[in-house]
Amino acid sequence: MRILVVDDEKDVELLFRQKFRKEVKSKSLELVFAFSGQEALDILQRSNPPKVVYIFSDINMPGMTGLELLEEVKQLYPDIKISMISAYGDSDNYNRAINSGAKEFFTKPIDFVSLKEEIKGLIN
C-alpha cells in the first residue's frame, strides 16, 4: 500500500521512515513524500489512477494549504482516504477538515500508535 505524506517540514520524512521501518522493510507499506500541496498533486497525476491510497497531510503549509489540498483531492480522486495533521488542535481546522471529507484529524506531536492503527484499518 502506498501512502503519501505531505508536509513542508523536511524532517518529517526521516521521522516517518523511522516509525514505519518494519512496515517498509516487509513491503506492506510504501512511503512517498511531498513537501507542498502542489507537489502532492503532481505525484498523484503521475499515474492514472493514482497508486496512492492514503494521504497524510499537514494543514499549515505555505502556498496550497492542507485543507485546500484535501478539497482538491476529494474532488479529483474521491476514493483516496486523507487524514490531516495540525500543530494546533483548534476546532475550526478540525471541523473544516472533517466536513471536507478527512478520514481523521491528528495533532502534533503525531501519535504514531493511533496512526498505525488507522493505516492498519485501511490494509485489512
The yes/no answer on whether domain 2-123 falls in CATH 3.30.70.360 is no
87-to-73, 105, 106, 116, 121 alpha-carbon distances in Å: 22, 11, 9, 19, 24
In contact, 69 and 60? CB cutoff 8 Å: no
- Euclidean distance between the first and the last CA atom of the chain, given in angstroms as a whole number: 11
Residues across the chain: 124
**Alpha carbon distance 5, 1 (integer Å):** 13
Cis status of the peptide bond prior to 49, with omega within 30 of 0: yes
Give the CA radius of gyration of the chain: 13
C-alpha distances in Å from residue 52, one per residue of 4, 89, 108: 6, 26, 23
Summarised one tens digit per residue, pLDDT across range 20-76 is 999 999 999 999 999 999 999 999 999 888 999 999 999 999 999 999 999 999 999
Residue 48, CB half-sphere, CA atoms under 13 Å: how many?
2
Report the alpha-carbon distance of residue 72 to residue 1 in Å, rounded: 22
pTM score, whole prediction: 0.94
- What is the rounded average pLDDT for all residues in the chain? 93
